Chains A and B, each alone.
Chain A
Amino acid sequence: ETGVTQSPTHLIKTRGQQVTLRCSSQSGHNTVSWYQQALGQGPQFIFQYYREEENGRGNFPPRFSGLQFPNYSSELNVNALELDDSALYLCASLIGPVGTEAFFGQGTRLTVV
Chain B
Amino acid sequence: AQSVTQLDSQVPVFEEAPVELRCNYSSSVSVYLFWYVQYPNQGLQLLLKYLSGSTLVKGINGFEAEFNKSQTSFHLRKPSVHISDTAEYFCAVSDLAQGAQKLVFGQGTRLTINP
Chain A residues at the B interface, C-beta cutoff of 8 Å: 2, 4, 6, 31, 33, 35, 40-45, 47-48, 50, 55-58, 90, 92, 94, 97-107, 109
Q: Which of B14-22, B54-62, B74-82, B93-101 contacts A (4 or more CB under 8 A)?
A: B93-101
Known pairs A45-B104, A57-B97, A106-B41. 13 more at Cβ < 8 A? A2-B43, A33-B101, A41-B108, A43-B90, A44-B105, A48-B100, A50-B100, A55-B99, A58-B97, A90-B44, A97-B99, A98-B100, A104-B44
A42 and B105 within 8 A (CB): yes
Instruction: Report B45 CB to chain A, min CB distance, Å.
Output: 7
The residues of B that contact A6 with a CB separation of less than 8 Å are 43
Bound form: Cα–Cα A4–B42 in Å: 12
Bound form: Cα–Cα A45–B105 in Å: 9
The residues of B that contact A4 with a CB separation of less than 8 Å are 43
Bound form: Cα–Cα A104–B105 in Å: 14
Report the nearest A residue to B6, measured CB to CB: A42
A42 and B107 within 8 A (CB): yes
Report the nearest B residue to A46, measured CB to CB: B102
- Are A104 and B43 CB-contacts (below 8 A) given A41-B107, A43-B90? yes
Contact-size category for B: 20 to 34
Instruction: Report B76 CB to chain A, min CB distance, Å.
Output: 15
A90 and B43 within 8 A (CB): yes
Q: Which of A50, A55, A94, A106 contacts B42 (CB 8 A)?
A: A106
The residues of B that contact A92 with a CB separation of less than 8 Å are 44, 103
Bound form: Cα–Cα A56–B107 in Å: 22
10 A-B pairs with least C-beta separation: A56-B100, A42-B105, A48-B100, A104-B43, A104-B44, A106-B43, A56-B98, A45-B102, A98-B101, A107-B43
Instruction: Report B13 CB to chain A, min CB distance, Å.
Output: 21
Bound form: Cα–Cα A47–B94 in Å: 14
Bound form: Cα–Cα A44–B106 in Å: 10
B103 and A102 within 8 A (CB): yes
